[in-house]
Amino acid sequence: MEGFLDPTKILKEMRLRRNMTAIDFGCGSGGWAIPLAKELEEGKVIAIDILEEPLSALKARAKLEKILNIEMVLADAEKGTDIFENSADLVLMTNLLFQCEDRKKVMEEGKRVLKSSGRILIIDWSLDSPIGPKEGRVSPEDVKTLAQDIGLKNKKEFKASPYHYGLIFEK
């Protein structure tokens, strides 16, 4: 779809280092994990999803594209993960928060796994987007308030697509 979300373009703007560790919360079948793994050639991507099926699709896609630096984890970010504290340089939450009942717990888990000065990239549906899910959308202002409440610093806000906003927070 013309003008839709372009993970590769957005990740290029993130000034990633090739040896970073990144965690993709709610990775689905890898729309962000695959381009992220390609950028982090010497690093690692931990791809987390609550459902086995998308992880299986991601595993097959990574194998097909010969991408070896993705670790798949079946977990619910709202309930916490077994990922070590202070272990990631970057956490992605793309099209995730609108699906969560307890956004604060997800954000706290993202903060917990981040290293000092690590960043969280949040991409979610704009409130006025004519496409996408109708239920559960969360405003950028509400996400910024939530981030501030748990001690994250707002670093950047941007239009990720005609239908999505983007926010970057730092620990």
Residues 6+ apart with CB under 8 A from 149: 104
pTM: 0.95
Nearest-Å Rg of the Cα atoms of the chain is 15
Q: What's the one-letter identity of residue 5? A: L
- Between CA 118 and CA 9 the distance in angstroms is 20
pLDDT at 142: 98
Q: Does domain 7-134+150-170 have CATH number 3.40.50.9100?
A: no
C-alpha dist (Å) from residue 77 to 44, 62, 108, 110, 157: 19, 22, 9, 8, 23
pLDDT at 52: 97
Reading the chain (171 residues) residue by residue, the pLDDT tens digits are: 446 899 999 998 888 999 999 999 999 999 999 999 999 999 999 999 999 999 999 999 999 999 999 999 999 999 999 999 999 999 999 999 999 999 999 999 999 999 999 999 999 999 999 999 999 999 999 999 999 999 999 999 999 999 999 999 999
Residues 6+ apart with CB under 8 A from 66: none
DSSP 144: H
88-117 pLDDT, tens digit per residue, is 999 999 999 999 999 999 999 999 999 999
pLDDT at 3: 60
Q: What residue ranges do the domains of the chain occupy?
A: 7-134+150-170
